[in-house]
Structures are given as C-alpha cells and as structure tokens.
Amino acid sequence: MSWSGHFHGYGPWIGTPTNYHAEGFRRPPHTDPPPPPASDDDKRAREVLARYREVAADFPVSNLPPLMSGHWLLKRNQTSAERTWTDPAAVREWMTTLYLESPPFEREDGKRAYVGLDVKRAYALDVLPRGVDVSWVHYTRTGNIVSINAVCCPNRHHRDLTCPLPPS
C-alpha cells in the first residue's frame, strides 16, 4: 500500500464525556440542505432545517473531535502550520508530548486500562507513512476525555476533501 502526502495534527481536545458522546455535534452537515418547510404548519421540517443550519455553522469552527478522523480536514480553523508535518517521527513526538501532559487514568487494581505508550508510538510510526490516521483517545484521572489526532493528507477515506494547509 503506497501513499504520499503529509500530516496534520489536531488536539488535544480535553472535555467531558457528555460533550464527546454528543455524536450529532461530531458529524459534518450533509452537502445538500433539507428542503424548506412546505407550510408554516410543518413544524418537523422547520426543526430539521434549523438543526441543519446549526450544524452547518458550528461543525467547521468547533474543536470537538469529529466521528471520523478525516473530517478534521473540514475544520480549517483548527489546522496550523506548527502542526503540519512531512515527517511521521515528528508527528509521533508531538502526539507523545501531548499524551504525557494529560496521561490516562490508572486502574486501582493495577491492571492496564489502555495499551502502553510504547505500543502507541510504534503503531503510529508504522502506519502514518502508509497514510493511516492515528487517534489517541483516553480518559484522564479527572474523568475527562483527551483526544489527540494525526490526519493524513490527502486522506485515503475522504479523497474529496482538499488540504486545509499544505506544508511550507
């Protein structure tokens, strides 16, 4: 499997499980808006159209992680030159730094709740050069969720999405 491109880093997003699990806010809007209400009495159609407009306005500017990692590329205001790389090792180091700043919780029984950082680092360095996105998501000691993401660009699963910021 060959791939040629670069990487964008997104995160860390740190927030409550309630916000993270609100999937409706983590999906991009459909490309075609719903039809307008046929009449003033069509309450459901007005609600659907209002919800579409809300998502269309909020999704691109929200820092809430999308359900599909490639959809980060739609959040152009979340992309920066400082988090755009051509070297997968640099991506891995950035992700490692953020992971260590907000490590996962440790179980009281001493068993591991998540795969170790060494495994995460090896996996990232293995798959990023092949164009596979990497997402590290975990609960912290305080009960928040941390999401750190590296997105390959061009993206294998969202070929129609354009690059938000080519590397300089």
Question: Tens of pLDDT along 108-159?
Answer: 998 989 999 999 999 999 999 999 999 999 999 999 999 999 999 999 999 9
Same domain, 146 and 113: yes
pLDDT at position 24 is: 83
Give a yes or no: residue 71 inside a domain: no
Q: 31 with 13, same domain? A: no
Does residue 70 belong to any structural domain of this protein?
A: no
Note whether 13 and 30 are same-domain residues. no
Q: Same structural domain for residues 43 and 15?
A: no
Same domain, 49 and 115: no
Q: Same structural domain for residues 165 and 106?
A: yes
Q: How confident is the model at residue 1 (pLDDT cuts 50, 70, 90)?
A: low
Q: What is the pLDDT of residues 48-88, one digit of tens each?
A: 888 888 878 888 899 999 999 999 999 999 999 999 999 99
* Pair 101, 166 in one domain: yes
Q: What is the pLDDT of residue 164?
A: 95
Q: Which structural domain, as residue segments, surrounds residue 33? A: 23-63
Long-range contacts of 34-42, Cβ-Cβ distance < 8 Å, separation of 24 or more: none
Distances in whole angstroms, Cα of residue 39 to Cα of each of 44, 47, 52: 11, 13, 18
Residues 115 and 150 in one domain: yes
Q: Model's pTM, two decimal places?
A: 0.89
Tell me: do 89 and 45 sit in the same domain: no
What's the pLDDT tens digit per position in 29-50? Answer: 877 777 777 777 788 888 888 8
Whether 101 and 167 share a structural domain: yes
**Phi and psi (nearest 5°) for 141?**
-60, -30
Is residue 162 in a domain?
yes
Q: What is the pLDDT of residue 81?
A: 96
Residues 89 and 152 placed together within one structural domain of the fold: yes
Q: In this structure, are 164 and 115 located in the same domain? A: yes
